[in-house]
Copies of this chain bind each other. A is one copy, B any other.
């Protein structure tokens, strides 16, 4: 299903307006070159910024991860902290995260993204990939819950989503909408799913965001990454220029409007990234922008990401904001 046809679909299950869909990029929240290692510092900062953006910044609500802490025998819950209703108003956000160093190795080694589920190695890789990505999902749900965000993990596989040539061909959003209606924050993730043609596939977090955006029409979308935004060349190169504004035409094509560039730009895709790298991200961002939804691509856990998450950039982009905004040229 492409976004063109989704735009005209009347059957959105969302009854509450969604403020923001936020992507926690795998590269930002995990240690990219170390297998299955969460970047706890960044994840904690990101969770705090989300709490500030979603819940009254002056009050920290009590934590909702009551799991046993190391060395204790009781759950961490004091019912008295839950008496004040006022601190529980939570702006509707949907969180989607990538895999980073979770899942990618398992998927690459077995070729889950290429299908052929009847091969034993692919079947094993499918199981191993799902174990890895759901492990990460659980840790992210817990980090958000510790900040008082009522986070609920929802795996695309369990939601019954499947793909057809990497696009979502069945992605019922009624469970996600019901969670929003009940005041929860759904936390979805890139996942191994069934594919109508090739048997199985990897559904990337970026494709999930496009799907969610088309149906839920959020006010804005934020991609949190490990660099300041989109650059004209690999950001590790000394002369790399941050692209501050990308305009998207009605046909989905995009061009850099700020800064003015002399040469056409070059984009890189990390070798172990089975879901495509920056090029996929810009394409997906362009598809969202085409719907009239501004997309901010920004470095996680910085003052710039906090401004993006809080919706401060919607009227105008301050000169001192570092990041990339992708929006419709209309």
A residues adjacent to B (C-beta < 8 A): 34-36, 61-62, 64-68, 73-75, 77, 79, 82-85, 87-88, 105-106, 109-110, 117-121, 123-128, 130-132, 134-135, 138, 141-142, 145, 150-155, 157-160, 172, 174-175, 178, 182-184, 194, 199-200
Of B124, B134, B150, the residue contacting A64 (CB under 8 A) is B124
B77 to A109, Cβ gap below 8 A? yes
Of B66, B141, B199, the residue contacting A106 (CB under 8 A) is B66
Other A-B pairs, 19, CB within 8 Å; known A130-B152, A154-B158 = A64-B124, A64-B127, A66-B106, A67-B135, A75-B109, A75-B128, A77-B124, A79-B109, A87-B120, A117-B183, A126-B150, A130-B153, A134-B134, A158-B159, A159-B159, A160-B160, A160-B174, A160-B175, A182-B200
Residue of B nearest to A101 (CB): B68
A35 to B75, Cβ gap below 8 A? yes
Bound-complex Cα distance A66 to B129 (A): 8
Chain B residues whose C-beta falls within 8 Å of the C-beta of A68 in the assembled complex: 35-36
Chain B residues whose C-beta falls within 8 Å of the C-beta of A79 in the assembled complex: 109-110, 121
Interface centre among A83, A124, A160 (most CB of B within 10 A): A124
B64 to A77, Cβ gap below 8 A? no
Indicate whether A88 sits within 8 Å of B123 (C-beta atoms), given known contacts A68-B36, A182-B117.
yes
Interface centre among A88, A117, A128, A184 (most CB of B within 10 A): A128
A123 to B150, Cβ gap below 8 A? yes
A132 to B184, Cβ gap below 8 A? no
